[in-house]
Structure 1
Amino acid sequence: MRPIRAWWLALLAQRCPRCHTGPLFNHSTYNLPHLTDMPESCPVCGQHYEPEPGFYWGAMYISFAFAVPIVLLTGAALYWLFGDPDTWVYVLSVSVIMLLLTPPSFRYARAVMLYAFGGIRFDKRYLEKNTAR
């Protein structure tokens, strides 16, 4: 696996914040029984993924910040496309879209939490070591 140079691309690819190579999660996003499975540390650089116990509780707030625009955009799209449909259409549409987007939202909230508040910085030495392979 090749390292990713830009931090925001590494975040989108859900890679380790220190080496930008190791995966943050063990399984694919929609493998629901294993949605929350993260390795204890990065298999490439050994960076521990949980800086302190209960660290990812803050990811709930980030997940909420992802959900609000999704709900608002869904409601606005329904209003503009269908001319203010019945309330049940709004509720059903938002519910289905949120159910479909909950797994990636959960994972990206954890990734953003680790990148923003984990105190882990990119280390160029791992980039050079992994590109030399």
Structure 2
Amino acid sequence: MLKKGSKLNSILTGSCPRCHQESMYVDQNPYHITKVYTMHENCSHCGLHYQIEPSFFYGAMYVSYGLTVAIGVAAFIISKVFIGLSLGQSFIAIIIALVVLMPVTARLARNIYINMFVHYEKNAAKK
């Protein structure tokens, strides 16, 4: 499922979508807030330029919106149905979940967005 060559591998690991050889991000920890969006210019293995066009990752905002809605719904169901919190407490749980997962959501949105346009190539790495 997470083997090299699958979109899911590239999305979850943040690796280059073309060769899956290296991380797209300078700092792999998304919780270093000042570096959450800092990416390499190109992949050192296959040469893929990550910023495909100017303002390319603005489209990732739409993916991020979908992810945050999914996280909010999941947090509400877990807090209200399974834990049994009140409605107000459930909304506080949603806010906490969204704030805590914001760096992860931001990176996942970028990873998903670039993987929609760039596909894995088995022999993409430079010789």
TM class by shorter-chain length? Answer: 0.7 to 0.9
Q: Give the whole-Å Cα distance in 1 for the aligned partners of 2:111 and 2:59.
A: 11
SS in 1 for 2:41: coil
Q: Give the Cα–Cα distance (whole angstroms) in 2 for the partners of residues 42 and 104 of structure 1.
A: 21
Residue 91 of structure 1: how far off its partner (Å): 2.6
Encode CA deviations 1:111-133: one digit per residue, 9 max, x unaligned. Answer: 1111103xx2222114696xxxx
The structure that has the greater radius of gyration is 1
Query: Which position in structure 1 is the counterpart of 2:33?
Result: 32
Counterpart position of 2:95: 95
**Residue from 112, 118, 121 that aligns with 2:119:** 121
Shift of 1:68: 0.7
- Does the 8 A contact of 2:18 with 2:48 survive in 1? yes
Q: TM-score, normalised by structure 1?
A: 0.83
CA distance in 2, matches of 1:90, 1:84: 6
| 1:75 Cα deviation after fit | 1.1
Instruction: Tell whether 2:76 aligns with 1:78.
Output: no
- Which amino acid in 1 is paired with 2:122? K
* Structure 1 residue 90 displacement after superposition: 2.1
CA distance in structure 2 between the partners assigned to 1:127 and 1:92 by the alignment: 47
Aligned residues: 124
State the 1:72 CA deviation.
Answer: 1.1
8 Å contact kept, 2:46–2:126:
no
- Unaligned 5+ residue runs, structure 1? none
TM-score after normalising by structure 2: 0.87
Q: Deviations over 1:63-104 (max 9, x none)?
A: 0100111111111122213435141x1232111111111101
> How far apart, CA to CA, are the structure 1 residues paired with 2:126 and 2:5?
10
Give the equivalent residue in structure 2 for 1:67: 68
- The root-mean-square deviation of aligned C-alpha atoms, in Å, is 2.0
- Decide whether the 8 Å contact of 2:16 with 2:43 is kept in 1: yes
Matched position secondary structure for 1:29: coil
Unaligned runs of 5+ in 2: none
The alignment partner of 1:125 has SS state of coil
